[in-house]
A and B are shown apart, each in its own frame.
Chain A
Amino acid sequence: MKTETHHHQFENPSVIGTILRKLHIDIPLFIALSLTASLSFVILYSAGSQDMGVLARQGARIGLAFTVMIVLAHIDPYQFKRYSALLFGIGIVLLAAVLVMGQTALGAQRWLNLGFFRFQPSEMMKIAAPMMVAWYLSEHPLPPRSKQLFIATVLILVPSLLIAKQPDLGTAILVASSGAGVLFFAGLSWWFIIGILASLTALTPILWHFMHDYQRARVLTFLNPEADPLGRGYHIIQSKIAIGSGGIYGKGWLGSTQSELDFLPESSTDFIFAVFAEEFGLFGCAGLLTLYILIITRCLYIASQARDTYCRLLAGSLAFTFFVYVFVNIGMVIGVLPVVGVPLPLISYGGTSIVTLLSGFGILMSIHTHKKFLHR
């Protein structure tokens, strides 16, 4: 392979550096990710009623996700850049296909049955969208002019709206924020950012009009959970009880009564943070957040060291999106954000999301470990 030969030509004489470079693994990031994934097993064992089958399935997913991450880390970022537009185009076609003929699961059309396997195109968009916007903006001088800004906005809105239509609000938000992240790192003017936030507020009534009933109900519930304690507010109330009753030190591992007695719904998936907070208390939560911040900081560092504009923008956006993941999930579980279907990254049970997530880290590692070799 072409990139392979380049390696050898520019090899660094330091031994450790050589090994790391050959593996294309960023050690600090890898350690932090492995730690978080291990935590996932600990808490899932408790939240999933001590079912070893749950752990085995999660283990298989995490194993696959780490493999995908390492494979992607070996690909030169130039290749990502080259195929950004193609990947994005395929993603859009697939999203449209899902709307037309996708399979319905739990009342939402998200899956595309390709005969041999089922596939969720919206997951792929979480990476393809920032790649596309990063590629487009990196082809032009920064900060972006209004024309590029307009096109970038369209590039973000089309997939986000297609996903929101499925309806999968959680993923739509993540895709939109990954695109917005690219714009932010590209140097979008502060005035513009303030303007967008203001107009979004003004647009709320219109957005409201286009929302599905259940999405509206979630927003209403968020605004006042106690108004409907049994229907829509049930999740939030039960999860607040779980977190609050955990206190500073928590009830200890396997000590969650809220999930154990079935009071807390979705305790292994979207609401797993509540179980974590109930069992490990404020200290545990602070520890987990620290772990997440370490991961994000490392990613931002990688972005700052990236070799070209495309890599910077993509790396910055992936780091930012990961934070959005954490913030939206924990925010909804502790009752400061409306309930949208976003899992707690690396911890929640199931979903293809863990593969997508680690694919992002694979790209970050690729950006970091390939930076010194190529200048095209």
Chain B
Amino acid sequence: MSRVHSIKDTQLESHLFLNRIMAAFIAIMLLTTGLIVRLIHLQVAGHEHYATLAKDNSIKIYPIVPTRGMIYDRHGNILAENTQSYSLEIVPEKVKDMDETLLQLQKLLNIPDEKIDLYQKQRKRQKRFTSTPLLLSMSDDEIAKFAVNRPFFPGVDIKQRLVRHYPYGELAAHVVGYVGRINEAEVKTLSAEEYQGSTHVGKLGIESSYETQLHGKTGYAEIETNVQARPLNTLNETDAVQGANLHLTLDMDLQKTAYDALAPFNGAVVAIEVKTGGVLVFTSRPSFDPNPFVAGIANDAYQALQLSENQPLYNRALRGLYPPGSTLKPFVALAGLEHNAVTASQRLFCPGYYQLPNVDHKYRCWKKTGHGAVNVSDAIAESCDVYFYRLASTLGIDDMHNFLQKFGFGEKTGIDLANEKTGLLPSREWKLEQKKQSWYPGETLITGIGQGSNQVTPIQLARATATLANRGDVVTPFLVDKIVSATETRKGPETHQEIIPLKKSNVDTIVSAMVDVVHNERGTAHALKKDFDYLMAGKTGTAQVLGIKQNAKYNENAIEFKYRDHALFIAFAPANAPKIAIAVIAENGGHGASVAAPIAAKVIKQYLQDHNEN
């Protein structure tokens, strides 16, 4: 291309470009004028029309709160339902002087300060023009008092609401839990959209761990309102999806039997259906009535529950930590047989105490005079401590720890409840890590009889028992059997199963020794009234609360009740084809045989009776 040509082009291009700039400018001015014309149309010609619309008429979106799912036990008994109740509600935007209104209401209805505080917190997170409850479950008296004075309280009204109710009260409180008012911390974690109209959320138990399923999905109604937010008419609705109903594996008849039988002791009973892992009984005593928590429990009542020496709010079945005592022995014995530390027929001598080489300390058997030469069956039936000292010493802590771990000791069972405790299965690593100390041989002995640092939860103990009854087929306990929503029925949690490889003959030895505990006259639980026609396999246990000095005597009657030993009992039945496995812990019950075993027998008997009839 020649230079002359190129310059000519540049001039042409410049000219063309300037033309285009002008064209663009004109187009932009025209379009902007168009915008102005439209604005005049809206703001001058349409002003009156739109000003009226802005003033009178607007559309608001209101949440439609889904009805919370019900909770049933395995027989269809209602554990949690929604009942109609009347509540005192306030629309803050309609109240002129909120402080004054609250003060007057407080005077009129005797509302405690903490409910006012709770309301103040709750109303902050509500959408504008929504009604927020101040008092839930009003009494007839309160309704009447307010109704008379209603004209003096603009913006305050009585509304009907569905309120959670737990018909079984304290009996299922530790399983079902309860719902409560949504608090500030929960506001941050819950989906603002889903909980827009909700006042309550599951706080504990099944109510909390299945919150998503129980809550359902919030729907929306688009409602035409005036500026005072008075609804004029509903224009469009998206229905709420109701919460799913939960069917638990729990058997409330059995639960009641267990809870009553445990009295007067504090403690826990957990029973598991051996084949499935479904939890039949899950009792922690004492318990509490969850119903006051729904409306917001009064401060003093809550203080009383919290400060009570018996700790009714404490879920012993899930979080109670107890030394397993002699209930650990069948598992230790099985470990010994599986690791060939001892044979089934081999006899070890019990002179009433055991001493480690070159150590003065005497590890005592509960029977001062000694059991003589005992084999594994005798040792379990008679709960000989010296046999297990010797066995543990031969077996060693590492093999014992690893074997017991397979039965779920020292780890969470994975039951579908939150905040389960892990328990503690001592090991060399644990001690080094936690206490910065090496393992002492004496600790192996103590661990072998279930004392020392050993700690189990009742649910853990029941699970281990069920796994033994299942001959090594590991059981994962669960509570929710079915989740039934409007559209589908789903199974509860996946119960992942592992199998511990065990020699049949070894398991047979242990099971028959546990049968001897109950049915042989040498057995520690032999005194149990055997008004049943099947074989029950069991093991008694006693967990020390108070350390006893070397030469002191344990005198049950001389020491204060709260320092008495805990009574434990584990069992499954029928021994040859187990259906139910159970763990009972009666705090300060003294003896497993006399206190805990009858409770277990009662529950098992009732279950098998019901079961055979069906």
Q: Is the CB of A300 within 8 A of B43?
A: no
- Chain A residues contacting B36 (CB-CB under 8 Å) are 285-286, 289
A263 vs B129: C-alpha distance when bound (angstroms): 12
How far is the CB of B234 from the nearest CB of chain A, in Å? 10
Q: Is the CB of B35 within 8 A of A331?
A: yes
Q: Is residue B297 contacting chain A, with contact meaning CB distance below 8 A?
A: no
Q: Is residue B139 contacting chain A, with contact meaning CB distance below 8 A?
A: no
How far is the CB of A71 from the nearest CB of chain B, in Å? 27
A289 vs B28: C-alpha distance when bound (angstroms): 11
- Nearest residue (CB) in A for B29 is A293
Q: Is the CB of A296 within 8 A of B17?
A: no
- Chain B residues contacting A230 (CB-CB under 8 Å) are 59, 222, 235-236
Given A243-B39, A243-B43; A261-B128 close (CB under 8 Å): yes
Q: Is residue B51 contacting chain A, with contact meaning CB distance below 8 A?
A: yes
- Chain B residues contacting A289 (CB-CB under 8 Å) are 32, 35-36
Given A143-B16, A243-B39; A185-B24 close (CB under 8 Å): yes
Q: Which of B44-72 contact A (CB under 8 A)?
A: 44, 46-47, 49-51, 53-55, 58-60
Known: A245-B54, A304-B18, A323-B31; 17 extra A-B contacts, CB below 8 A, are: A141-B13, A142-B9, A185-B24, A230-B59, A240-B46, A241-B50, A241-B53, A244-B50, A244-B54, A245-B50, A248-B44, A261-B128, A261-B227, A262-B127, A285-B36, A309-B10, A334-B39
Q: Is residue B40 contacting chain A, with contact meaning CB distance below 8 A?
A: yes
Q: Is residue A247 contacting chain B, with contact meaning CB distance below 8 A?
A: yes
Contact with A along B181-200 (1 / 0, CB 8 A): 00000000000000000000
A303 vs B49: C-alpha distance when bound (angstroms): 44
A287 vs B130: C-alpha distance when bound (angstroms): 39
How far is the CB of B53 from the nearest CB of chain A, in Å? 5
A309 vs B39: C-alpha distance when bound (angstroms): 38
- Nearest residue (CB) in B for A319 is B24
Q: Is the CB of A187 within 8 A of B16?
A: yes
Q: Is residue B534 contacting chain A, with contact meaning CB distance below 8 A?
A: no
Q: Is the CB of B47 within 8 A of A244?
A: yes
Q: Is residue A312 contacting chain B, with contact meaning CB distance below 8 A?
A: yes
- Chain B residues contacting A319 (CB-CB under 8 Å) are 24
Q: Is the CB of A327 within 8 A of B35?
A: yes
Point out the residue from B9, B31, B44, B236 that lies within 8 Å of A327, measured CB to CB: B31
The residue in B28, B40, B46 that gathers the most chain A C-beta atoms within 10 A of its C-beta is: B28
Q: Is residue B356 contacting chain A, with contact meaning CB distance below 8 A?
A: no
- Chain B residues contacting A243 (CB-CB under 8 Å) are 39, 42-43, 50
Given A231-B236, A257-B54; A184-B59 close (CB under 8 Å): no
- Nearest residue (CB) in A for B1 is A141
How far is the CB of B99 from the nearest CB of chain A, in Å? 23
Contact with B along A239-258 (1 / 0, CB 8 A): 01111111110000000011
A285 vs B47: C-alpha distance when bound (angstroms): 15
Point out the residue from B12, B28, B44 that lies within 8 Å of A323, measured CB to CB: B28
Point out the residue from A244, A316, A320 that lies within 8 Å of B42, measured CB to CB: A244
Given A331-B35, A334-B42; A240-B50 close (CB under 8 Å): yes
Q: Is the CB of A247 within 8 A of B54?
A: no
Point out the residue from B16, B28, B43 that lies within 8 Å of A142, measured CB to CB: B16
Q: Is residue A195 contacting chain B, with contact meaning CB distance below 8 A?
A: no
Q: Is residue B25 contacting chain A, with contact meaning CB distance below 8 A?
A: yes
- Chain B residues contacting A304 (CB-CB under 8 Å) are 17-18, 21
Point out the residue from B24, B35, B59 that lies within 8 Å of A234, measured CB to CB: B59
Q: Is residue A91 contacting chain B, with contact meaning CB distance below 8 A?
A: no
Q: Is the CB of B31 within 8 A of A244?
A: no
Residue contacts A-B, CB under 8 angstroms, 25 given: A141-B13, A185-B20, A231-B236, A240-B42, A241-B50, A241-B54, A244-B43, A244-B46, A245-B50, A245-B51, A257-B54, A261-B58, A261-B128, A263-B58, A281-B43, A289-B36, A293-B29, A304-B17, A304-B21, A316-B17, A316-B21, A316-B24, A327-B35, A331-B35, A336-B38
A232 vs B28: C-alpha distance when bound (angstroms): 30
A228 vs B191: C-alpha distance when bound (angstroms): 27
A143 vs B20: C-alpha distance when bound (angstroms): 12
- Chain B residues contacting A297 (CB-CB under 8 Å) are 25
Q: Is residue A282 contacting chain B, with contact meaning CB distance below 8 A?
A: yes
A240 vs B57: C-alpha distance when bound (angstroms): 13
Q: Is the CB of A277 within 8 A of B43?
A: yes
Q: Is residue A330 contacting chain B, with contact meaning CB distance below 8 A?
A: yes
A234 vs B47: C-alpha distance when bound (angstroms): 19
Point out the residue from A234, A247, A316, A334 that lies within 8 Å of B51, measured CB to CB: A247
A234 vs B43: C-alpha distance when bound (angstroms): 19
Q: Is residue A229 contacting chain B, with contact meaning CB distance below 8 A?
A: yes
Q: Is the CB of A285 within 8 A of B21?
A: no
A256 vs B537: C-alpha distance when bound (angstroms): 78
- Nearest residue (CB) in B for A242 is B54
A117 vs B222: C-alpha distance when bound (angstroms): 40
Q: Is the CB of A248 within 8 A of B47?
A: yes
Point out the residue from B32, B35, B128 that lies within 8 Å of A262, measured CB to CB: B128
Contact with A along B307-327 (1 / 0, CB 8 A): 000000000000000000000
- Chain A residues contacting B227 (CB-CB under 8 Å) are 257, 261
- Chain A residues contacting B31 (CB-CB under 8 Å) are 323, 327
- Chain A residues contacting B28 (CB-CB under 8 Å) are 293, 296, 323
- Nearest residue (CB) in A for B24 is A320
The residue in B12, B20, B32, B44 that gathers the most chain A C-beta atoms within 10 A of its C-beta is: B20
